[in-house]
Structure 1
Amino acid sequence: MKAVLKDNVIEIYDACLVKDAIKAIPGRRWDPKKKVWTIPMTIEAVEQLKYIPGKIEPIILERYRELKRIQDKTIEEKYAEQVEPIEPMPLKPHIKPYQHQIKIYNLGLINPSFAILAEMGTGKSLTAVSIAARRWQRGEVKKLLVVAPTSVLPVWPREFEACTVPYVCAVLEGSMQERRKTLQQLNSIKDKLLVAVINYEATWRILDDLLAWKPNMVIADESQRIKNHSAKQSKALHKLGKVAKYKLILTGTPVQNQPLDFFSQYKFLDETIFGTSFYAFRNRYAVMGGYGGKQVVGYQNLDELIRKAHSIAFRVTKEEALDLPEQIDQYQYCELEPEAARLYNEIKKQSYAELENEQEITVRNVLTRLLRLQQITGGFVNTDAGIQQHVSSAKLNLLKEVVADIIDAGKKVVIFARFLPEIKAILKILEDMRLEYSYITGEVPNEQRGEQVRAFQEDPNRKVFVAQIQTAGLGITLHAADTAIFYSVDFNYANYSQARARIHRIGQKNNCTYIHLIAKNTVDEHVLKALQRKEDIAKMVVDNWRMYFG
């Protein structure tokens, strides 16, 4: 027997006499074209290989010792009670990372490929930025590709504002031609960390360009998006994973429906963990049965699966991250469809012109026009004839995606919205998702509201509470959830603050997360900024109306 290393795979020649011993090695495969056995370059595989008579190429043993060193350091770091950065974190001085972020940072530097399995609100994006920036300082990474859901693309440039290394962060948006042009323009920039951010749906469409760009590092944000191993975007990430030496996956819900969800994410991250064949992986960890023996009827060897997955991963929940602040704000973005954007801009220009010609600007005039713009971002508008018109599904589609992630994480959620048409559309989405819900609007009689709250608080199957912000933002307790989504808000800071307090109150045991859904480049952004400054918009719009309509 002779064992040699080729492309991180061990090939075994002249193995007729030790065939049975090789068959006992996990992940072994027979290559009929080369007529050789192949086994993954893993600690477990080499340890078994060492006991088989024959010649092992020295580089295999060197690589084995390096993997053992990484494994030992990883275990030591994981179980340390107090940690300090193994190398300085390239973050601005006013940013103080939490203990779990420092631990993930250290683990991400120790392991070339690593899974950050952290719940939303625990700061996994900032930690990933720190790892990438430090690898740039080391000279390991010049080009970083971040692949993320469309809704969080605008978040990544903001995350990079916290780092201290020189960088350029470009979001690849627009037509495929425009995305390619942006990617090419990055190549002309020297002596900076080059960051390209793209959504999953576009990766396979410009895959050749991304491969030619040759990123040194790839981050798959919300990596559960590639859990289907046969989907085009998953296959694109698998190919990108072969190009990049350094990889991270970020997700709070690595397993959404079944343990088999691990396979595709880890095929991108590190093929040596679960191999390259989904069917071999399924046969190892699933029990097949049903019609034709092609249905998963159970699972097996799950302890092994979890051990392998966590060998290059760190899991943290909000409950475990005890040093987190009590309240965490997050932002997810959508983009209005072209026709909805045209209508929005038309009404904005019209409002600006009308206000310019007003002899006296009044609060009522400004708020009436702002309200109409806000209705469009939520998806609905009233025509001049008083007819309600559905003009956009962008934010509704984003809401469906966010709710699915929260429910898959085993949590309940409260959704706040301002307008009745929005709430009716939200309830329809929940029904289509087959989710049980409670709701309170101005149309729900007072005597029925207590039962709606009780059912949400006590019934484990009642996963969602939908609340009209003006009606249900005061006086009720909804702390069965630790996450709230603001689909839309009104212009009153007191209402917004009271809505937040529905989940953040006595009896709440967890940190609270507030997710704000925002239509890009619209009044949503201005209104939210004002509320974050604790300003009632009604008190300031007369002097600042041009900011909203300009």
Structure 2
Amino acid sequence: MKFKPWNYQEYAINHMIDHEASGLFLDMGMGKTVSTLTAVDELLFLGLVYKVLVIAPLRVAEDTWSTEVEKWDHLKHLKISKILGTKKDRERALMKNADIYVTNRENVDWLVNECFGKWMFDMVVIDELSSFKSSKAKRFRSLRKVRPYFKRIVGLTGTPAPNSLIDLWPQIYLLDGGKRLGKTIGSYREQYFTPGNRNQFVVYNWNLKEGAAEAIENKISDICVSMKAKDYLNLPERIDNLIEINLPETAIKKYKELEKDLVLELDKNDITAANAAVLTNKLLQMSNGAIYSENHDVVEIHEEKLKALLEIIEASNGKPVLVFYSFKHDFDRIVDFLKSKKLKAVGLKDSKDIKKWNNGEIPILLIHPASAGHGLNLQYGGNIVVWFGLTWSLELYQQANARLYRQGQKETVIINHIIAKGTVDEDVMKALGNKEVNQNILLEAVKARIKNIK
């Protein structure tokens, strides 16, 4: 296929060629991969780089980069080696003569240790840059060790700061080595933030100082490009449906008992993001219809969401349906329930399933949002999404929806949210709608429940 770049893609390509460090904050579906590959191809041709390392989420590393090379005529000459699989497989991939070496985030630490004394990559592309938002994560600390050896680096993401601008420091540090936002996370916080909720020396969230957001944006504006799909692309219409369901009285009673017990237990101690997350996790499980016991057995509570899902599938009149689930027992219960109705639902396993879906060969596809968060092109296989279970992560929510709502989609995208009335589902949906999902929202939701119960 011949590549005819949009104007914004040409701008992004030139930006990567002209800047040794480049952050591309482009919305999902704007062709970040093909733009980056085009820039890499030019840099290789000019002799400005020789070996390129791409770090990506596992599924993206397995499929997306090689598929894009095969797809576009001007890129087919590029040789790709995938540093994936067993230790022997990774070692063999490292020994291959290639232009681009692709690995997954979980292998970064191994790769740095393996190649530290003989680092051969003079350009690194991080796809998805926001997965390096924690300065404490092993993957960040490992990549930081070899950062001085990069001649060029590109960071790709649609959501650089999904929760807070605190998340931005590690990402920008990898781009510029600390030149713009400081050498340490501590100095960054001190300059731009004030402590929010805290427990003695533990700070749970940070608040921006007045004018800090603009100051941060100005600091990084020379190397970072931010573009929104709605400003450049004619995307299809998107319809968001809230499908509210009433739980049976027995289920509501069990839900309220669990909520009361856990909330009152939390009320005796300082509420942290960790124990607030445990509470909402259990309540979300019950909203979906089942919960793990202390022995890790699955205790079924109700089938109301399963029935609502069936109604959506039947109303789709044979059109493929993409279902996002939250817990392993959600997956198992959906598969078994639909099987009893003579319907087949399958999980996404590998690139073969992606091709089957896009070819219309999978009627009902089940995906955990963390597995479909980045880079999967599923827009050719359907236009109907169902959120069986919700996520507090705005980043995962946006990225998951963008698997269908992106460039190349020809039909109106319908995103259905199954909401159990009177449950934490309503809190999560409200938070997602406010576009402010962070620890503070989670804590405030829990505190509100404590107040209501009292």
TM-score, length-scaled by structure 1 = 0.46
- Contact residue 214 and residue 244 of structure 1 kept, 8 A: no
SS of residue in 1 equivalent to 2:229: coil
Partner of 1:235: 141
- Inter-CA distance 391–98: structure 2 relative to 1 (3 Å threshold): closer
SS of residue in 1 equivalent to 2:101: strand
Partner of 1:155: 64
Q: How far 1:270 moved relative to its partner?
A: 0.6
- Contact residue 217 and residue 246 of structure 1 kept, 8 A: yes
- Contact residue 122 and residue 149 of structure 2 kept, 8 A: yes
Counterpart selection for 1:501 from 391, 397, 412: 412
Partner of 1:302: 213
Mapped partners of 2:231, 2:190: distance in 1: 34
- Inter-CA distance 206–109: structure 2 relative to 1 (3 Å threshold): closer
Mapped partners of 2:143, 2:110: distance in 1: 12
SS of residue in 2 equivalent to 1:298: strand
Query: For residue 163 of structure 2, what is the amino acid of its counterpart?
Result: N
* RMSD, aligned CA: 4.0
Q: How far 1:145 moved relative to its partner?
A: 0.3
- Runs of at least 5 residues in structure 2 that lack an aligned partner in the other structure: 239-330, 351-364, 376-381, 416-454
Q: List per-residue Cα deviations over 1:141-175 (Å, max 9, x = no partner).
A: 11000000012121101222323474210122211
SS of residue in 2 equivalent to 1:147: strand
Q: Does 1:200 align with 2:200?
A: no
- Inter-CA distance 276–177: structure 2 relative to 1 (3 Å threshold): farther
Partner of 2:88: 177
- Contact residue 116 and residue 313 of structure 1 kept, 8 A: yes
Alignment of 1:281-292 (within 5 A): 281-289=188-196, 290-292=198-200
Alignment of 1:453-532 (within 5 A): 484=404, 500-503=411-414
Query: For residue 156 of structure 1, what is the amino acid of its counterpart?
Result: W
Q: List per-residue Cα deviations over 1:81-137 (Å, max 9, x = no partner).
A: xxxxxxxxxxx7x21100000111111111100001001111111111111111101
Mapped partners of 2:181, 2:48: distance in 1: 26
- Inter-CA distance 434–126: structure 2 relative to 1 (3 Å threshold): closer
Q: Does 1:401 align with 2:370?
A: yes
Partner of 1:526: none
Query: For residue 220 of structure 1, what is the amino acid of its counterpart?
Result: I
Mapped partners of 1:194, 1:435: distance in 2: 35
SS of residue in 2 equivalent to 1:241: helix
Mapped partners of 2:131, 2:28: distance in 1: 15
Q: Does 1:279 align with 2:211?
A: no
- Contact residue 117 and residue 315 of structure 1 kept, 8 A: yes
- Inter-CA distance 233–398: structure 2 relative to 1 (3 Å threshold): farther
Q: How far 1:293 moved relative to its partner?
A: 5.5
Query: For residue 257 of structure 1, what is the amino acid of its counterpart?
Result: N
Alignment of 1:125-274 (within 5 A): 125-153=33-61, 154-161=63-70, 162=72, 163-164=74-75, 166-186=77-97, 194-211=99-116, 212-271=118-177, 272-274=179-181
Mapped partners of 1:397, 1:132: distance in 2: 34
Mapped partners of 2:235, 2:348: distance in 1: 34
- Contact residue 220 and residue 250 of structure 1 kept, 8 A: yes
Mapped partners of 2:42, 2:237: distance in 1: 29
Query: For residue 111 of structure 2, what is the amino acid of its counterpart?
Result: I
Counterpart selection for 1:319 from 209, 212, 230: 230
- Inter-CA distance 245–391: structure 2 relative to 1 (3 Å threshold): same
Partner of 2:249: none
Mapped partners of 2:54, 2:370: distance in 1: 19
Mapped partners of 1:176, 1:327: distance in 2: 46
Q: How far 1:236 moved relative to its partner?
A: 2.2
Q: How far 1:257 moved relative to its partner?
A: 0.7
Mapped partners of 1:315, 1:402: distance in 2: 25
- Contact residue 416 and residue 485 of structure 1 kept, 8 A: no
Mapped partners of 2:404, 2:202: distance in 1: 40
SS of residue in 2 equivalent to 1:284: helix
Partner of 2:262: none
Q: How far 1:238 moved relative to its partner?
A: 2.1
Partner of 1:56: none
SS of residue in 1 equivalent to 2:139: helix
Mapped partners of 2:374, 2:82: distance in 1: 24
- Inter-CA distance 416–503: structure 2 relative to 1 (3 Å threshold): closer
SS of residue in 2 equivalent to 1:287: strand
Mapped partners of 2:237, 2:87: distance in 1: 39
Return the index of the structure with the highest Cα Rg: 1
Mapped partners of 2:224, 2:393: distance in 1: 31
Mapped partners of 1:174, 1:250: distance in 2: 24
Mapped partners of 1:319, 1:208: distance in 2: 42
Query: For residue 231 of structure 2, what is the amino acid of its counterpart?
Result: E
Q: How far 1:254 moved relative to its partner?
A: 0.2
Query: Higher RCO, 1 or 2 (CA under 8 Å, sep at least 6)?
Result: 2
SS of residue in 2 equivalent to 1:197: strand
Partner of 2:17: 109
TM-score, length-scaled by structure 2 = 0.55
